[in-house]
Amino acid sequence: MNEKGLSLTELIISSSVLGALATISIPHAQALIARSYDIRVMSDVRSIVWAEELQFVDSGKYLSCRNAECRRLPGVAKLSKGIHVEVEATEESFYIRAWHPQGAAEVIEWDSARGGFLDVPEGSGEDKENLLQDY
């Protein structure tokens, strides 16, 4: 007999295999997306660090700011969508707290007095030694 199409058994097996693959891949994809938000936050923090240093060279002081206010810093046209940032400046240093609600890390911190990132999120593809070499 010449059959066209799949039998019920073949459909059930195919559905089971696809379900197992989805069960494995979806959480992994979600973790990758969350880490990408953290990397975006770290990139914005680096931009703010450079802008703060330019601000200091130009005016002799660092600038405190929050979110959109940070556009007052030289070279910061805008922050990435959804990123929240707080910069606390003193006469000698500045401290940055930044996060994205969908990121894996609660908060990403930079302290210029302590030499850079305080804690690098796991899986960001960065380590402290590499980050500190840039600054």
- Domain boundaries along the sequence of the chain: 8-133
> How far, CA to CA in Å, does 85 sit from each of 2, 7, 69, 101?
66, 57, 10, 12
Distance CA 66, CA 88 (A): 9
Is a pLDDT exceeding 90 seen at residue 105? Answer: no
CATH architecture of structural domain 8-133: 2-Layer Sandwich (3.30)
Average pLDDT, the chain: 86
Stretch (H or E) spanning 35: helix 8-59
pTM over 0.75: no
Q: How confident is the model at residue 23 (pLDDT cuts 50, 70, 90)?
A: confident
Is a pLDDT exceeding 90 seen at residue 52? Answer: yes
